[in-house]
Amino acid sequence: MRYILDQAVPAKDYGRVLSISLWFVAILMVEALIQYVQALLANRVAQSVTLDLRSELYRNVIRFKLNHYDKTPVGQFVTRLISDIDGVADVFSAGILDIVRDFLKLIFIVAFMFYLNWKMTLIVLIPIPILIYATRIFQVTVKNSFNDVRNQVARINVFIQEHVTGMNIVQIFNREKQEKTKFDNINKEHRDAHIRGIWAYSIFFPVVELLSAGSISLMIWWGMHESLEGSMTPGMLLEFSTFITMMYRPIRQMADNFNVLQMGVVNAERVFKLLDTKEFQENEGKISADHIRGKIVLQNLWFAYQEENYVLKGLSFETKPGEMIALVGATGAGKTSIAGLLNRFYDFQKGEILIDDVPIKEYELQSLRKNIGLVLQDVFLFNDSILNNITLHNDHISRAQVIEASKLVGAHDFISMLPGEYDYNVRERGGMLSAGQRQLISFVRAYVMNPKILVLDEATSNVDSESEHLIQQATEILTKNRTSVVIAHRLSTIRRADRILVIDSGKILESGTHQELLASNGQYKKLFELQFQE
């Protein structure tokens, strides 16, 4: 441009002007092609990083102990796995590469300006220290606002996930307006966090424009002085003016990209904090549980979910292989805790659990859980077909096995009446089925896994009388010829148990058969009469 203005135009060399212009267009086209390749490769890298990081984080999350989920809202996991990792990906797709590009461009431009006219370059760089100071303040302010934004996003995710899951409670108790007010307050705090970041942008970018205009003003003042002395041409003034614009553009972009980088750092800190969390269940056992007979021994077992607040207090009992043992007692007595300890979802503090006279921690964890079936009170079904909810996508379980198990358990009749039968989609959490139907499906799921030990945790507490009858029949089928631990509030389901343990405050009060406990006139008889007094 300087050559055209200072030499080609005065000489009326229009061919030279056209030639330079064509070169100019060609260079721009090459630049556009390089930018395309850079954007394509950078985003491929970013998506590869996202894929690997999200996969590794999810692998970490599914290995956590259950007590980690007890104290962490689900919405926080969603935020870390989705939006926080996307923020990290932005660093690779734009942040780092753009900062390097702009930094190299800035060095080249300033060096070339010194080469052309070092005095004028020093003059136009006078506002730069002010810009550096403003940039530093801008970065600190925006980093803090980004941190606030991520925290508010996590709060929104937690609130929405929790309230959508519990929407029936909100509507049953007519709390829509109150919950909407709570959401509006959280949403406003999220908006305010964003506005604080926007405020920093709204101050910083005008400052950059003012300083850029200041540099151009200084250039014009000094350039006019140089022109009067004959050492500065109009083309050189145009060249310096263009260089100043090119110099401030990467500075502004670098500040913006540093914010992308800072936001990525904030996101990365949160992601890697979760990734570095190693609250896993220890799996140092080497013994396979595939051939266990089912003898269970609990010796002086002490267990607490938190510190010294013990749920089980010196609990001891033994089951023989193939024996059905029932645990009864008031809510909070510690019955469900025993089920969690047998599957090693939690670890006890004192005492010992033995299976076939081998300490439970010496069994390989996956093998142990594969051979201990657990049917919970609150049945969870995935948004998938009945078949997949039973097999859990286990290729070793055939459709024929599922149908045969469903007939034995008593679930085949209602499944056959559904559209699509075993391919019927039960929707999220099995919402298209009744509580009894969900419970029967959980029985089929346990049956096809063919566990050596079966634990039933309050399997009939949420069903009607007709479903209870079916589940009682299913219980008899499931517990036949395998060691079974049945936790029950409804005492009618455990009359045929080989032994019944009455648990209270983490201790065994009574032990015996149904008839023996009734004859002893103790706590079990009181529970039985209270339940069947009519």
Distance CA 482, CA 321 (A): 7
3-state secondary structure at position 354:
strand
Give the residue, 84 or 469, on which the prediction is more confident.
84
DSSP β-bridge partners for residue 298: 317, 353
Residue 452: burial class (beta carbons within 10 Å; 0-12, 13-18, 19+): buried
Handedness of CA 229, 232, 233, 234 (dihedral sign): negative
pLDDT of residue 95: 67
Cα–Cα nearest to 106, from 260, 253, 257: 253
Picking from 438, 512, 444, the residue whose alpha carbon sits closest to that of residue 473 is 444
pLDDT in tens, 117-163: 888 888 888 888 888 888 778 777 777 777 787 778 878 888 887 77
Helix (H) or strand (E) holding 485: strand 483-487
pLDDT at 304: 85
Length of the chain: 534
Chain Cα centroid distance, residue 33: 38
Average pLDDT over the chain, rounded to whole? 81
The string of pLDDT tens digits covering residues 465-474 is: 666 677 677 7
The first and second tokens of residue 218, run together, are 């200084």
The owner of tokens 């015996």 is 512
Question: Domains, the chain, ranges and CATH?
Answer: 2-275 (1.20.1560.10), 296-531 (3.40.50.300)
Bridge-based pairing state of the strands 324-328 and 453-457: unpaired
What pLDDT, on a 0 to 100 scale, did the predictor assign at position 30? 96
Highest mean pLDDT among 146-160, 178-192, 281-295: 178-192
Residue 334 confidence class, pLDDT cut points 50, 70, 90? confident
Chain center to CA of 297: 37
**Cβ atoms < 10 Å from Cβ of 296:** 23
Strand ranges across the sheet with 483-487? 372-375, 453-457, 483-487, 324-328, 499-504, 507-512
Q: Are 319 and 81 in contact (CB under 8 A)?
A: no
Helix axes 399-409, 435-449, angle to 10 degrees: 120
Is the pLDDT reported for residue 253 higher than 70?
A: yes
User: Which pLDDT score, from 0 to 100, does residue 461 have?
Assistant: 56
Cα–Cα distance measured from residue 316 to residue 325, given in angstroms and rounded to the nearest whole number? 13
Q: What pLDDT, on the 0 to 100 scale, is given for residue 316? A: 86
